[in-house]
Amino acid sequence: MRIMTHGYWVILAAAVAAQASDTPPPAVPPLPPAAPELQFAAEDLDFFEKKIRPVLVEQCYQCHSAAAEQAGKLKGGLRLDSRAALLRGGESGPAIAPGNADESLLLDALRYESFQMPPRGRLPAAVVADFKTWVERGAADPRTEVAAPARRGIDLEAGRRHWSYRPLSKPQPPQVANAGGPIDAFILARLAEQGLHAVALADRATLARRLHFDLIGLPPTPAEIDNFTADESPESYERLVDRLLASPQFGERWGRHWLDVARFAESLTLRGFVLPEAWRYRDYVVAAFNADLPFDRFIEQQIAGDLLPASSIADRQRNLTATTFLVLGNTNLEEQDKQQLRMDVVDEQLDAIGRGFLAQTIGCARCHDHKFDPIPTRDYYALAGILANAKSLEHANVSKWLELPLPLEPDEDARLKDHEARVAALESQINSLKETVKLAAAGNPAREGVVPPGDLPGIVVDDKQAKLVGDWKLSQYTRHYVGEGYIHDLNTGKGEKTATLIPEFKQPGRYEVRLAYTAGVNRCEATPVTVFSADGEKTIKVNQRETPPIDGRFISLGMFRFELNGQGFVIVSNEGTQGHVIVDAVQFLPVEPPRNAPATATQVAAASGGAAKPATGTPPGANAPGDATARESAAKAKEEVALREAELKMLRERGPRRPMVMSVQEESRIADLNVHIRGTVHNLGERVPRGFLQVVSTAAPPILAEHSGRQELAAWIANRNNPLTPRVYANRIWHWLFGAGLVRTPDNFGSTGEMPSHPELLDYLAASLIEHDWSTKAVIREIVLSHAYQRASTGDATALAADPENRLLWRMNRRRLDAECLLDAIQSVSGRLQLEPGGPGVKPGTAADYGYVQDSPRRAIYWPVFRNALPPIFEVFDFADPGTTTGRRNTSTAAPQALYLMNDSWVTLQARTAAQRLLAGPPGDDAARVRTAFRLALGREPTAAEMQLTLKQVAGTSATGPPDAAVVELRYARLVQALFASLDFRFQD
Amino acid sequence: MLSDHPFLTRRQWLQSAACGFGSMALAGLAARDAAAAASPLAGRPPHLPQRAKRIIFLFMQGGPSHVDSFDYKPLLEQHDGKNFAFDDARVLANTGQKGSSQRVMKSPWKFRQYGDSGRWVSELFPEIGQWVDDLCFVHSLHTEGVAHGPATLFLHCGSTNLARPSFGSWVTYGLGTENENLPGFVSISPSLGNGGARNYGNAFLPAVFQGTALGKAGGSAAEATIRNLANPLQNADECQRQFELIQALNAEQARRTPDDSELAAVINSYELAWRMQHHAPHTLDLSHETAETQALYGIGEKETDNFGRQCLMARRLCEAGVRFVQVSYGDNTANPAWDQHSNLPVHAQHARRVDRPVAGLLCDLKRRGLLDDTLVWWGGEFGRTPYAEKNGTGRDHNPGGFTVWLAGGGVKPGVAFGRTDDYGHMAVEDKVHMHDLHATLLHLLGLDHLRLTYRYQGRNFRLTDVHGNVVREIIA
């Protein structure tokens, strides 16, 4: 469990002091020593006895006394049953500061300002006033300390007796007649104990469909089913299993399972930022499953890949890409308290690691010892300390995740370096050319340097349109300005004046923002200019003594993203400035989105809503400096600049791009963390050495002082003696094959999770996993070859009555196709599906995910997982919430699913495409087409009743003779869509 | 309270003439396991006496300024232009610095008193001003999150960043709906930004409690509808034939495993979808309203048409039994409508668009007797500072003190509760945290926020986490 961010009460505690006061708050007085021999005046003690003690006893002792502590009900570590306890305080500090009511947390709490105490309702104002008086008069209090009983800690030894923490061994399967293998022996023995029997194996067509969906996530083609059902040799089933395990589609199915656990997504909820490099991690996961990467190494690469030795560049690339796992959290980049944000990121990582690999809810120990499991807060901060040494974000008003260059093969690297050198050379050439232009401009006090705002490209906000605060003066003294002059702050009233320039955008998008000013020696060297954009706010200090580099008029403030109707503007302030602050104009030049094909100048201008104007360089008209030769050379240089800039742009767009990867970086200073009392970053407790969960007594590797401990953490989790890791993963594999784990809470093996239905079978599988060198495919193979997996999903009245939830596995579970299988199956039927693997799936140039239109002929795993714009089919059919680790998806039944299948335009179009496919096929009668439709969609022939129903729908003639082609197509589309909506399509037997 | 596998009701469909072919074919199946069919959306008894049966939340996205609307502070005029030290929330979060110097900025709008209660309202809201004797102002709200995203999520879900169910989802989970032919929780014109769908999402609650979006922010309310209510390529007759074919196939396929209640639930979801497809368009069709009613909401006039339609739709949905209707005045940007950082006077434009429709909604609810058991909640994710942001011409976010108002269902009319300091910066008296407001709203709906829990990942969750106190002082 986790308490809310406590930042707010820090703000509120200061609320009273904030009122109309520019005097600093009084310093906290030093606390008087808690001396028992303190003498109090009799009337003060009397006041305490009459007014204070009864209230404390009645209202507070229940949670804040020695008795409460003994009962394990002490709240906030605070006792109020002696003066010493009050002075010592609780987790948030001393409860009272005698003599100073306003500095006393107790009073804050009674006033419902920081804490709200007592929680059941505020005390009457008169009582609160009594407490104020009492504290102000020195907090007279005769009570002496009642010896506090020993604090009840977590009993780790007792904790280790919980089933999941016990050491792992490989149980012997029981002796059962006719058990196919160990798995069936465990299951049949349990069934026999209950006097139940398992049902028979499923028919071969059902098995073919089951294996295809479970192993590769795609329906079998009619031909594949025919081949399989025709081949009655005993090895045919095993051959099919091996073929599917070796298929490149296997990794796409099983990788997607892991992506649920890894809370994979390609954008962030807040501001909809797209994570453009996240797809590399997805491809890494798919490749890992296809290659059957041992799971222990899969763990190590994801947690500490950046720290692992690598024998080749490809290894290094893969290791680094794996660590994207750490930074996929749905981070609140705009959290303003960056210390809080840093700990929130660590918490999120710990949650993903804890639940994903260990099925432990470690996050519950962030604020207090875990309430149910043997995880003390110290353990949380021992682990958090490890992750806090990995930097995940670059902090700013809106912080940014890290993208690091992907290491490259030498030849590729050389090619990129060569390209980068060419870019750098060109940039330097452009800069020196600009210098020439600047010198020319500076050497000629411009007389003709006045340009009307309308002659400039993009959106120009002149000083005349600025909203001004304070006294600004219009000037035309330096005649090189936009519009009718420029304004300055008279070099007075520092900190009082601002100019706000608000553009009217006609198109959202990225813009280069430029400030125009006139330079001079009396100007300010660090004028603060703040740009507010869709990416937050950014302040740039401009040296206005220097001639502006662009046309001697503008300085670029950078590229920013703006939204329509959003709050995009620029504020120039004179706060903290020395010298004149100048505002002439601000220009917003549209920049085409990155990664798009190069746009022409006309397109750029059109995007800005204006007429075609060049986006850079000199505006039309004779605005060059006065002197003829200088003017000529300046003009030439400008022309050259324009040419070179165009060349640079081309080079950047056409040239190779250095691939980047989302990852983390070790902090330069390695440190331990302090306990954060109640999870609050501003209330620190004892320092905790980095370490692991104590309840898991696996020999913990020592963490060297100069190591972050991340590699050690990975090794500890991936250790074969860690009792949790192999059990958790074996259970996940079972869950993904049966729709329910042996432990049905796959992310929680703690005391609030479920117990395993077959503990010995689970341990057998976990041990088997390790024996097979952590091979996922080996365990899958063993499971799908069992009879348990091959059973029919049909009912047996006795078993159904005794075990309706099928915990004992007397049959196979009937399961729904998940969103991805539905999508892939629909596109298989329509014939639109393309099996091209990997690569980025997001349309180029997408900066934010809002309103992203999802459609692709590729498999579902390659559709962008956008947190604000999931594909509708994902949303409706219980796709995993990409905000958090999901080991088990919901399975819901709701009307929007029905509405989606009946009416969604994408489904309707797919049905129509499928109809065209059916009608374009080999000529045949309607019955043959109906059969094909059933075989494509459901993997079986229609029943007689189904045939009758559907033939009626497709074959009817109209009064005027045979229906025309469009009508026939519509009828078949209706048939296919009805099949998509039918039970046998949505479920897997 | 509920299992992870909710089933849909088949309670009414046998009586329903509209069901047609599919349900007839299903009759035998349904009879067998009718007992298994407790619908998660069926109405459920509240924990407590219910003061309101439903809520309309008028969400003013972006943070309308309380000191320019309902929280009158004469001191701002007196000290306009002077600098004082304020504990600015953003500065404090960024740097830990208290008492940064800020320039007090007076409101550009005049205030006057309205009604018998004499509440002060600025000239931004002359129409809402007429209704102050029905309103219950809470001037001492405070919340979490300094930026829009976190604060908006906090407002809706009680958490700044964690995936938590939204208010409306909790309410439908607790009470079900009064009309299963419509969704129980509707969000009209929700924004894509600042948490987007998470603001009406069910998070870990079962998906049936998810809010249904009607249109989206920035879109035309006249065209707003529920997704997938009609097939884009089929006419009514074709739709009917397709539905019948689906249910005939389903009945045939279910015949092989007659005991499977999960299959029955899926079949039933088609029946429900079919009914929704027929009932919802009628509910959303405003042409059934008289010209007088439409005019009351400002429909037909340029500035108020869009929001007026949203408000009138909200009334119709409430009347039809929807439990929680949210109407959003906002847009899809990262800095939404009411977010006047640079140009405070733009507030007037937003006020003109909402004032009349909101007043019209109050009037209409009242004259229909709906205000007795419908709770109206007006407010944003936070308020704004009484001083100029960066010494400019707008106001920054202020989570430390702001105003919301409630009306109808169980709240005291014509009162004001709580107070901010003399500048309107921080709530100082009878402070009400957003968690407290949530607890109070649930209480009015008959739900005890301490008991409205859902077990997930080994522990019980609730909307108010470990916080929240019911503000009994404002309950009638």
* Contact in structure between A21 and B85 (CB atoms under 8 Å): yes
Q: What is the pLDDT of residue A601?
A: 32
Q: What is the pLDDT of residue A441?
A: 58
CA-atom Rg of chain A in angstroms: 35
A5 has a pLDDT exceeding 60 = no
Mean pLDDT within A536-559: 90
Is the bond into A118 cis (omega within 30 degrees of 0)?
A: yes
What is residue B279's three-state secondary structure? Answer: helix
Q: What is the pLDDT of residue B4?
A: 32
The model's pLDDT over A306-345, given as tens digits with 9 standing for 90+, comes to 999 999 999 999 999 999 999 999 998 988 888 999 999 9
- Closest in A898, A946, A949 to B273, CB measured: A898
Output the CA–CA distances (angstroms, integers) from residue A621 to A448, A635, B309, in the order listed.
10, 12, 51
Whether residues B99 and A987 touch (CB distance < 8 A) is answered with: no
Q: Which of A1, A8, A912, A950 should be substituted to probe chain B, the one whose Cβ sees the most B Cβ atoms within 10 Å?
A: A8
* Confidence at A430, pLDDT banded by 50, 70, 90: confident
Structure tokens at A839: 């690569």
B334 touches chain A (CB under 8 A): yes
* Contact in structure between A570 and A515 (CB atoms under 8 Å): yes
Question: Angle at the Cα of A247 (from A246 to A250), degrees rounded to 5?
Answer: 95
Whether residues B4 and A891 touch (CB distance < 8 A) is answered with: yes
A646 has a pLDDT exceeding 80 = yes
Burial of A91 (0-12, 13-18, 19+ CB in 10 A): middle
Q: What is the pLDDT of residue A629?
A: 67
Q: What is the pLDDT of residue A615?
A: 39
- Look up residue A217 and give its DSSP letter: S
B10 has a pLDDT exceeding 50 = no
Q: Which of A899, A976, A987 should be substituted to probe chain B, the one whose Cβ sees the most B Cβ atoms within 10 Å?
A: A899
B308 has a pLDDT exceeding 50 = yes
**Dihedral sign from CA coordinates of A915, B272, A904, A935:** negative
Residues of chain B neighbouring A10 (CB-CB closer than 8 A): 92
Q: What is the pLDDT of residue A152?
A: 57
* Contact in structure between B296 and B131 (CB atoms under 8 Å): no
Mean pLDDT within A256-261: 98
Q: What is the pLDDT of residue A442?
A: 54
Cα gap B161→A65, rounded to integer Å: 35
More confident residue, A123 or B375: B375
Q: What is the pLDDT of residue A588?
A: 93
Q: What is the pLDDT of residue A397?
A: 83
Mean pLDDT within A764-790: 98
Cα gap B450→B255, rounded to integer Å: 45
B336 has a pLDDT exceeding 50 = yes
The residues, ordered by sequence, that sit 6+ positions from A393 with a Cβ below 8 Å of its Cβ are: A331, A333, A341, A342, A345, A399, A400, A401, A402
Cα gap A12→B140, rounded to integer Å: 12
Q: Which CATH superfamily is domain A449-623 in?
A: Galactose-binding domain-like (2.60.120.260)
B418 touches chain A (CB under 8 A): no
Whether residues B399 and A8 touch (CB distance < 8 A) is answered with: yes
3-state helix, strand, coil in chain A (%, to 5): 45, 10, 45
A243 has a pLDDT exceeding 70 = yes
Cα gap A728→A355, rounded to integer Å: 9
Structure tokens at A357: 């690999």
Percent of residues, chain A, with pLDDT higher than 70: 89
Q: What is the pLDDT of residue A290?
A: 98
Cα gap B86→B89, rounded to integer Å: 9
What is residue A894's three-state secondary structure? Answer: coil
Mean pLDDT within A151-163: 81
The model's pLDDT over B372-424, given as tens digits with 9 standing for 90+, comes to 999 999 999 999 999 999 889 999 999 999 999 999 999 999 999 999 999 99
* Confidence at B8, pLDDT banded by 50, 70, 90: very low
* Confidence at B347, pLDDT banded by 50, 70, 90: very high
* Confidence at B370, pLDDT banded by 50, 70, 90: very high
Question: Angle at the Cα of B333 (from A338 to A394), degrees rounded to 5?
Answer: 25
Whether residues B257 and A814 touch (CB distance < 8 A) is answered with: yes
Among all residues of chain B, which has the CA nearest to that of A567? B335
- Closest in B194, B339, B342 to A502, CB measured: B342
Q: What is the pLDDT of residue B42?
A: 81
Mean pLDDT of chain A: 86
* Confidence at A811, pLDDT banded by 50, 70, 90: very high
Q: What is the pLDDT of residue A628?
A: 64
The residues, ordered by sequence, that sit 6+ positions from A592 with a Cβ below 8 Å of its Cβ are: A510, A598, A599, A603, A604, A607
Q: Return the minimum-mean-pLDDT range out of A76-90, B104-118, B170-184.
A: A76-90
Whether residues B334 and A892 touch (CB distance < 8 A) is answered with: no
Q: What is the pLDDT of residue A606?
A: 35
* Confidence at A702, pLDDT banded by 50, 70, 90: confident
Q: What is the pLDDT of residue B99?
A: 84
Could you please report the per-residue DSSP string of A459-495?
EEEEGGG-EEES--EEE-SS---BTT-EEE-TT-STT
The model's pLDDT over A496-513, given as tens digits with 9 standing for 90+, comes to 899 999 999 888 888 999
Q: What is the pLDDT of residue A592?
A: 61
A10 has a pLDDT exceeding 60 = no
Burial of A957 (0-12, 13-18, 19+ CB in 10 A): exposed
Residues of chain A neighbouring B206 (CB-CB closer than 8 A): 890, 892
Whether residues A15 and B87 touch (CB distance < 8 A) is answered with: yes
- Closest in A361, A563, A893 to B457, CB measured: A361
Q: What is the pLDDT of residue A271?
A: 84
The model's pLDDT over A397-409, given as tens digits with 9 standing for 90+, comes to 889 999 999 999 9
Interface of B with A in 146-205 (CB under 8 A): 146-147, 149-150, 158-163, 183, 192-198, 203-204
Q: What is the pLDDT of residue A958?
A: 58
* Confidence at A3, pLDDT banded by 50, 70, 90: very low
Q: At what angle do helices A895-903 and B261-284 cross, to 10 degrees?
A: 70
Output the CA–CA distances (angstroms, integers) from residue B51 to A972, B47, B147, B372, in the order listed.
53, 12, 34, 8
The residues, ordered by sequence, that sit 6+ positions from A312 with a Cβ below 8 Å of its Cβ are: none
Domain boundaries, chain A: 7-136, 294-407+664-717, 409-436+631-657, 449-623, 905-988
- Closest in B226, B331, B342 to A500, CB measured: B342
- Closest in A25, A563, A970 to B334, CB measured: A563
Cα gap A34→A19, rounded to integer Å: 33
Percent of residues, chain A, with pLDDT higher than 90: 56
Whether residues A900 and B400 touch (CB distance < 8 A) is answered with: no
B295 has a pLDDT exceeding 90 = yes
Which of B474, B409, B461, B401 is closest to B431 using CA atoms? B401
Which of A853, A742, A891 is closest to A807 using CA atoms? A742
Residues of chain A neighbouring B163 (CB-CB closer than 8 A): 330, 881, 883-884
**Dihedral sign from CA coordinates of A182, A184, A185, A190:** positive
Among all residues of chain B, which has the CA nearest to that of A6? B144
Which of A264, A274, A263 is closest to A849 using CA atoms? A274
Interface of B with A in 59-118 (CB under 8 A): 75, 79, 83-87, 89-90, 92-94, 98-99, 101, 103
The model's pLDDT over B144-154, given as tens digits with 9 standing for 90+, comes to 988 888 899 99
* Confidence at A904, pLDDT banded by 50, 70, 90: very high
A625 has a pLDDT exceeding 90 = no
φ and ψ of A665, to 5 deg: -135, 140
Cα gap A699→A692, rounded to integer Å: 10
The model's pLDDT over A37-61, given as tens digits with 9 standing for 90+, comes to 567 888 888 889 888 988 898 888 8
Whether residues A902 and B228 touch (CB distance < 8 A) is answered with: yes
The model's pLDDT over A207-241, given as tens digits with 9 standing for 90+, comes to 999 999 999 999 999 999 999 999 989 899 999 99
Question: Which range has the top average pLDDT, A51-65, A607-621, B417-431?
Answer: B417-431
Q: What is the pLDDT of residue A443?
A: 52
* Confidence at A891, pLDDT banded by 50, 70, 90: confident
Mean pLDDT within A678-703: 86
Q: What is the pLDDT of residue A940?
A: 94
